[in-house]
């Protein structure tokens, strides 16, 4: 499943290529892809046609694009995108794809395509609501009426470690997050995967962050020192920034940015997908265990359970 760096790569590409271009027409080729739209495809088309995409904002794995009307005024809703397991946003001027689900055609002839082979992703036009903490909606929010708003379906999602309010490891946002992590009585990996606590960390980056911090995935958060929790969060932020620089983690042709280029961070993974291979740090074979209907990969020597 695409994780935060993949979605951030796409957000940056959308911000570069499609903002401000009036939408001339909208086509829904697979109704399931707009299943979250209460009024169905007709409402989805009507809310987008004639508008322009005003910004590209992300929180965790959710991406949204606030809308501006033909009169130039900011509107109180946004195009919300969740990629699911195989979703892509592609910016192009032509071409077809067998998994094309929704197509936005701009007045200049360019297109923004939502492609989704497995159809677990979706797009919808959602109402914008104020953020609970009064801060910007997410990374990419620009000054204006929608800066401190986010789509209603995203209101329960926590900020992510690349968010301006959490990015500083010594800032008040990160300090409060450390406190909230330690307040729970659960394994540290469960806490990292809790999207209401901190969003955007998936299975791959959780394993990689815990390896960097030398912490076992099932170490209880209430027994971890503040400094150790802070180190895990910082490791997660560093892993995701490294992956972002590589364009995300691509394992097949499904995971590409808006221009169709794949990421290559998978070549730098230390534990995920490396069961039985030597730990890059100490040489001990990597172990993979069942965890929450998925798996946890770790080094039994570097990440001993206490």
Q: Which CATH number fits the domain that encloses residue 257? A: 1.10.8.50
**50 occurs within a structural domain:** yes
Q: Are residues 142 and 34 part of one domain?
A: yes
Among residues 11, 58, 59, 61, which one is catalytic? 61
Higher pLDDT, 127 or 253: 127
pLDDT of residue 89: 92
User: Among the options 118, 294, 304, 305, which is catalytic?
Assistant: 294
200 & 274 share domain? yes
Are residues 9 and 150 both part of a single domain? yes
Say which residues have a Cβ less than 8 Å from residue 246's Cβ, sequence separation at least 6: 263, 264, 265, 268
- Whether 161 maps to a domain, the answer reads no
CB 69 within 8 A of CB 50: yes
Name the catalytic one among 3, 8, 75, 208.
Answer: 3
3 among known catalytic residues: yes
Q: Does the pTM of the predicted model rise above 0.85?
A: yes
User: Quick one: 142 and 224 in the same domain?
Assistant: no
Distance CA 248, CA 136 (A): 24
126 and 18 fall within a common domain? yes
Question: Are 211 and 288 spatial neighbours (Cβ–Cβ below 8 Å)?
Answer: no
CA angle 26, 49, 106 (to 5 degrees): 65
User: Is the per-residue pLDDT at 255 higher than 80?
Assistant: no
Which pLDDT does position 172 carry in this prediction? Answer: 95
Residues 81 and 23 grouped into a single domain: yes
Within-domain flag for 165: no
| Range of weakest confidence among 82-91, 137-146, 182-191 | 82-91
Q: Is the CB of residue 128 less than 8 Å from the CB of residue 66?
A: yes
| 22 given a catalytic annotation | no
Residues 132, 246, single domain; the answer is no
Q: Are residues 150 and 179 in the same domain?
A: no
Domain span at 194: 172-298
* CATH code of the domain in which 148 resides: 3.20.190.10
Most confident stretch, 4-18, 67-81, 235-249: 67-81
Q: What is the pLDDT of residue 1?
A: 61
User: Are residues 17 and 145 located together in one domain of the fold?
Assistant: yes
Residue 274 has pLDDT above 50, yes or no: yes
Count of domains in the chain? 2
144: left (phi over 0), alpha (psi -120 to 50) or beta: left
The one catalytic residue in 2, 41, 136, 151 is: 2
294 annotated active-site: yes
Question: When comparing pLDDT for 279 and 294, which is higher?
Answer: 279
Least confident of 31-45, 71-85, 89-103, 196-210: 89-103
Q: Is residue 164 part of a domain?
A: no
- Residue at 306 is within a domain: no
Query: Is the residue at 160 inside a domain?
Result: no
pLDDT at 258 over 80: no
Q: Do 28 and 147 share a domain, yes or no?
A: yes
H/E run at residue 122: strand 122-130
Is position 54 within any domain?
A: yes
* Res 250 pLDDT > 70: no
pLDDT reading at 264 higher than 80? no
Confirm whether 169 is a catalytic residue: no
């Amino acid at each position: 499943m695409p994780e935060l760096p993949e979605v951030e790569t796409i957000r940056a590409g959308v911000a570069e290529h499609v903002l401000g271009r009036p939408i001339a027409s909208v086509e829904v080729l697979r109704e399931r892809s707009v299943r979250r739209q209460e009024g169905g495809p007709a409402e989805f088309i009507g809310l987008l046609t004639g508008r322009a995409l005003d910004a590209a904002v992300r929180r965790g794995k959710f991406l949204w694009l606030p809308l501006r009307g033909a009169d130039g005024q900011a509107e109180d809703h946004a195009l919300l995108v969740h990629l699911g397991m195989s979703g892509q946003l592609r910016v192009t001027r032509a071409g077809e794809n067998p998994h094309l689900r929704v197509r936005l055609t701009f007045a200049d002839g360019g297109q923004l395509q939502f492609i989704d082979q497995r159809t677990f992703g979706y797009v919808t036009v959602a109402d914008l609501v104020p953020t609970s903490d009064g801060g910007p909606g997410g990374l990419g929010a620009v000054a204006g009426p929608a800066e401190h708003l986010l789509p209603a379906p995203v209101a329960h999602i926590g900020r992510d470690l690349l968010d301006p309010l959490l990015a500083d490891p010594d800032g008040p946002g990160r300090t409060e997050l450390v406190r909230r992590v330690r307040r729970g009585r659960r394994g540290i990996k469960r806490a990292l995967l809790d999207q209401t606590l901190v969003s955007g960390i998936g299975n791959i980056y959780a394993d990689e962050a815990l390896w960097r911090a030398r912490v076992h995935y099932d170490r209880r958060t209430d027994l971890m020192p503040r400094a150790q929790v802070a180190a895990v969060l910082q490791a997660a932020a560093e892993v995701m920034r490294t992956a972002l620089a590589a364009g995300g983690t691509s394992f097949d042709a499904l995971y590409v940015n808006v221009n169709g280029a794949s990421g290559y961070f998978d070549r730098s993974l230390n534990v995920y997908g490396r069961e039985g291979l030597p730990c890059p740090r100490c040489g001990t074979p990597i172990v993979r265990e069942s965890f929450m209907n998925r798996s946890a990969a770790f080094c039994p020597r570097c990440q001993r359970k206490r």
